[in-house]
């Protein structure tokens, strides 16, 4: 599980409950909840096809799951394959492909073993990466749409409540409660948008960028292996994808080994 997402949700619930603790009942209004949730979901369904919504909602778990690929292990794997290719030739890489878990890396290595030209490999894998990014953006876009629709429907509910409020102007005692109900829909809309939808969209975007950066590093390494580049030089180039802190950590982890390079 992604601990940050879970902590954020729990902390958000705590902040909301702390703010409404004195009169929780005043913030519970089923008709307002139906207007905001139902209206926001209906607008989102109008904006997207049903099959797209079904597929995209399946990726929402990605915001709460921590499935991180190790950049350190990937670099070391690529360096080891580079050494093997220099010693035994590119065809030798075919024997170790079944142990590679990442399908993107496996496909790119298959193209190398098959003797495909570097430019064709680069174009093919870049196209796959662009399609991956497009699919990820659909998921982010759906939650951004919901993040825009919920506050809008909150305002619609508020306008509906104000109409009822104006009808009760002849009864001063009813004005206060009617105004409170009118504002609850705006409250619900803001909560759903800023506590759920927009943070999920942001988290999906961040994880998508990390995955794309990892795959860009993979293709850089694969093309380096195909060109016969010195493993030490390749390792240095791949480390440019790491942050300064990650580089220091990588150097510590690689300190006990020979760094996987040849002179």
Mind listing the pLDDT tens digit of every residue in the chain (263 residues)?
677 888 888 899 898 888 888 788 878 889 899 999 999 999 999 999 888 888 777 777 777 776 656 788 899 999 999 999 999 998 888 887 777 888 999 999 999 999 999 999 999 999 999 999 998 898 899 999 999 999 999 999 999 888 888 887 888 777 777 788 789 999 999 999 999 999 999 999 998 999 999 999 999 999 999 999 999 999 999 999 988 888 888 888 776 554 444 44
Q: In the chain, what are the helix, strand and coil shares in percent, each to the nearest 5? A: 85, 0, 15
Say what the pLDDT of residue 168 is: 77
User: Does the global pTM surpass 0.85?
Assistant: no
Report whether 204 contacts 198 (CB < 8 A).
no
Q: Is 114 helix (H, G, I), strand (E, B) or coil?
A: coil
Say what the pLDDT of residue 172 is: 79
> In terms of C-beta density within 10 A (0-12 exposed, 13-18 middle, 19 or more buried), how is residue 137 classed?
middle
Q: 196: which 2 tokens?
A: 């759920």
Structural domain boundaries enclosing 237: 1-263
Looking at the structure of the chain, the number of domains it has is 1
How far is the C-alpha of 188 from the C-alpha of 177, rounded, in Å? 17
Q: Is 223 helix (H, G, I), strand (E, B) or coil?
A: helix
């Amino acid at each position: 599980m992604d601990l940050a997402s879970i902590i954020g949700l729990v902390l958000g619930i705590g902040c909301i409950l702390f703010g409404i603790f004195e009169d929780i009942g005043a913030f519970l209004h089923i008709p307002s909840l139906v207007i905001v949730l139902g209206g926001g979901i209906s607008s989102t369904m109008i904006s997207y096809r049903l099959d797209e919504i079904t597929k995209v909602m399946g990726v929402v778990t990605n915001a709460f799951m921590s499935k991180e690929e190790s950049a350190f292990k990937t670099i070391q794997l690529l360096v080891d394959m580079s050494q093997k290719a220099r010693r035994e030739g590119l065809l030798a890489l075919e024997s170790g492909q079944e142990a590679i878990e990442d399908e993107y890396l496996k496909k790119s290595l298959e193209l190398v073993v098959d003797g495909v030209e570097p430019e064709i490999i680069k174009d093919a894998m870049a196209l796959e990466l662009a399609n991956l990014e497009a699919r990820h953006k659909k998921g982010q876009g759906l939650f951004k749409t919901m993040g825009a629709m919920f506050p809008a429907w909150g305002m619609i509910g508020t306008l509906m409540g104000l109409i009822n409020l104006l009808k009760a102007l002849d009864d001063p005692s009813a004005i206060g409660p009617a105004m409170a109900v009118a504002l609850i829909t705006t409250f619900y809309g803001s909560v759903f948008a800023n506590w759920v939808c927009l943070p999920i969209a942001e988290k999906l975007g961040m994880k998508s960028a990390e995955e794309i950066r990892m795959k860009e590093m993979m293709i850089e390494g694969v093309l380096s292996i195909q060109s016969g580049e010195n493993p030490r030089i390749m390792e240095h180039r791949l480390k440019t994808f790491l942050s300064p802190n990650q580089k220091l950590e990588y150097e510590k982890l690689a300190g006990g080994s020979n760094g996987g390079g040849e002179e």
